Each structure stands twice: as C-alpha cells, then as structure tokens.
Amino acid sequence: MKTVIKLFKQAGLLWYHSGADTMAAAVSYYAMFALVPLILFSLYVVSILYGEEYVVEVMLAWGSGMGTGVVLLLKEAVANLSNNPPVLFAPVVGATFLLLAVLIFMNTFTKGLHNIWGSSHIGFLATFQKSVRALVYVFILQIFIIALIAAEFAFALIFEGAPFATYLINILYVFAFTVLVVLLFSVLPLSDIPSLESRVYGGLIAALCFVMGKTFVSFHIAVTPIPDLFGAAGVALVLLLWVYVSTSFVYFGAAFAKVHDEMKNRQIDIRIENNIDN
C-alpha cells in the first residue's frame, strides 16, 4: 500500500513539475481547430462499414456525457464542414489547413509526453517524425473506433435486458479508454518510452481518473452557468474544459507510467547487485 501511495505522490509531483497543466491547456486550445476534421474523417471512414446514420448515432451517444450543447456544437460544425460547397482551390487549401490543425494538435500533445518522460526533440526532422507518427495514430484510431462499435453492438445484443448490462458497457469503456491511452503512449513519442507494463498501468490510471473525474466535471458544469455567462461562446468553453481535463488525466497516466518504470528498474538493479554480491 505504501508503494502505491508513493507512486501516486511521485506521479503527481512529476505531473506538476513537468508543466503538464500548461501543456494540457495548449492542447485544449488547438483541439478547437482539430476535433471537427478528426470527427469528420472518422465519420467518413467508419461509415464505410456501418453506415453514416448509425455511426452518427453512436458518436452522439458517446459525446452525450459532455452535455447537449457541446454535442450540438460539434454536430453542427461537422455538418457545416461536410456541406461546404467546393470552390476552385478551396478544397486543397482547406484540406491543408485542417491537416495542419490536426498535426499541430497531435504534436503539441506529444510535446507534453516528451516533457513528462524527460526527452527533448526539436528541429524540422523531429517535427516531421512526430507528424508521421500522428498520422499513423489517426489511422490506428479508425481501426479502434470500428472495433469498439462492433464490441459495443455485440455486448448490447448478447446482454440485452440483463440488469448488469450497463455495468458491462462501462467496463468496456474503461478497457477501451485504457487501450486508447496505451496506444497514445506507444505510437506518438519518439523516445524514452516506459515499458509496456508501465504504459498499461499508466493507461489504466488515466482511464479510472477520467471515469471518476467526469462526474465532478459534469457537476461543475451543471452548477456553473457557463453558457449563460458567455452566451454561444460558453459551449465552446465547456468543450475546452472537457479536453483540458481529459488531457490532464492522460498526462497524469504518463507520469505514473514513468515513475512506475523507474521504480521497477531500480528494483531490478538492486536484485542484480544482490546476486553479484552473493
């Protein structure tokens, strides 16, 4: 128990001293430009298998926890982007801008991971490598979404009407979020990646923090009249809050993975030294 408490304490200190809160704020800012093209791309790809109407319904259900206003904002933005009439050169320029927005968003997130894990990668080559990894992750994300929709449909079909079906779906979401974070930790960073075991622990911690934290965020949004105070911009602020909190939890998971990996390596070194002495 003392070891677990020590791990959480060290992870919290690492999270704080590495500036994870500032990086999470930067990620949430760029998310305003990147989320809509990401959602639209996922909608196009996944709809090939499941049909657009069903995929939209599933994605709206996934986003319902963020509040009706945020879901409607994203839905309207995606609709406006997909229905925008083509103009000469506009598709090329627009697609380039949206791609850059996604890459900046993903690369900013990766920079936060590098800060936490103590690695530094600057320059054109590093930016290019991070961008390639970001694109790889986006395509992996599509496979992940396809698999998650299939698993959710199978769960709903097999356990339809069962009193524990909701709990099983929630467990599925925790597992899915853990896998998603482990993929983030594995694909995006360029170096100094903790071991797979530590990444799994970090992903699980991030998933559990998100499950517990979303209740408090929802309560805060419910009791704080953000949309009433800021009007239409209030919905965008709520979206920023959700991205900030989610990113902060993922960064805490990354910090936990780092300290867990270091502690495990120290224990291995101690055992090796003891064996040599004996």
Convert the pLDDT of each residue in 209-255 to its tens digit: 988 887 777 776 667 666 566 666 666 777 788 889 999 999 999 99
Residue 195 located in a structural domain: yes
Residue 78 located in a structural domain: yes
pTM of the entire predicted model: 0.85
Residue 206 located in a structural domain: yes
pLDDT tens sequence across 83-105: 655 544 445 666 777 788 889 99
Reference 224, options 234, 239, 209; nearest CA is 234
The residue range of the domain holding 52 is: 2-270
Domain count, the chain: 1
Give the separation between CA 141 and CA 154, rounded to whole angstroms: 20
Q: What is the per-residue pLDDT for 65?
A: 64
Range in 112-116, 140-144, 269-273 the model is least confident about: 269-273
